[in-house]
Chains A and B, each alone.
Chain A
Amino acid sequence: DSGVTQTPKHLITATGQRVTLRCSPRSGDLSVYWYQQSLDQGLQFLIQYYNGEERAKGNILERFSAQQFPDLHSELNLSSLELGDSALYFCASSVDPGGGETQYFGPGTRLLVL
C-alpha cells in the first residue's frame, strides 16, 4: 500500500459525458502528478501540482483539467469524453519536487468510455 488513494476504482460512462477522478496523496506529500496509461500510448504524464499550484503540464488535452485543493487532494476532470479516453489514470505524490524524489503511485482509476 503506497498511501495514495484514488476513487473510484472503475468508471464506465458514455461518449460526450464528463467525469471526475479523485486522488488523495500520502500524508505530508505536497506534490501530485497525474498519468494516463493506455494500450497504445503507454504511461504518459498529464499534469503536476505542487501545494495547490500547477507546476508542469504534459500531454494533457484541453478537454481535461485538474486542480489541487487546500487539503492537498487533487481532482482530474475529463469532459466531452471520447472512446480513446478509455485508459487507466494514475495519481502519484511526492514530498516535494526534485529529480531524486520518489513518486508513490495510487492503484489507479480504470475508465471505460462506451
Chain B
Amino acid sequence: DAKTTQPNSMESNEEEPVHLPCNHSTISGTDYIHWYRQLPSQGPEYVIHGLTSNVNNRMASLAIAEDRKSSTLILHRATLRDAAVYYCILRISNFGNEKLTFGTGTRLTIIP
C-alpha cells in the first residue's frame, strides 16, 4: 500500500480554520485519498475523499495538489467537537483490496 505522512499533532483555536496536511509522494493514478477521524472513545468516522479534484462536503474540504503527491484537509471553522485523530488514507479502487490502512494520524487539539 502507498504510504502517507502526517504530522503527529496540531493545535488550533476554536472557530478558526484548520489545515491538516498529508504527504503521499508514492501515490498511484488509481489511489483515492480518504480522510477519516476518530473522536475519543468512538469508532473512526468518514470525513471526505477525492481522486483528483478538490472536494467539499458539509464537514470539510479536501484540497489535492496538482501532482497528487500531497493533500490538505480543511476544517473551515473548528469547534471543540472537532478534536480528534485525523487519518489520511490511500485506497486502491480495485476489488479485493478495499481495506483501510491506518497510519498514526494527526491528533488535533482545539483550544477554546
Residues on A facing B (Cβ under 8 Å): 2, 4, 31, 33, 35, 42-45, 48, 55-56, 58, 90, 92, 94, 97-108
Contacts and interface: CB of A to CB of B under 8 A. Distances in A.
Nearest to B49: A100
A44 B101 CA distance: 7
Interface stretch (B8-16, B63-71, B88-96): B88-96
Given A31-B98, A33-B99, A45-B101, A99 B32 contact: yes
Interface in B48-79: 49, 51
Which interface residue of B42, B87, B92 has the most chain A CB atoms within 10 A? Answer: B42
A100 B100 CA distance: 11
Tier of interface size on chain B: 20 to 34
Interface of B: 30-32, 38, 42-46, 49, 51, 87, 91-104
B95 A98 contact: yes
Which interface residue of B44, B99, B101 has the most chain A CB atoms within 10 A? Answer: B99
Contacts of B99: 33, 45, 48, 56, 58
A99 B43 contact: no
Contacts of A48: 98-99
Contact of B43 (A58, A90, A94, A97): A90
A107 B40 CA distance: 11
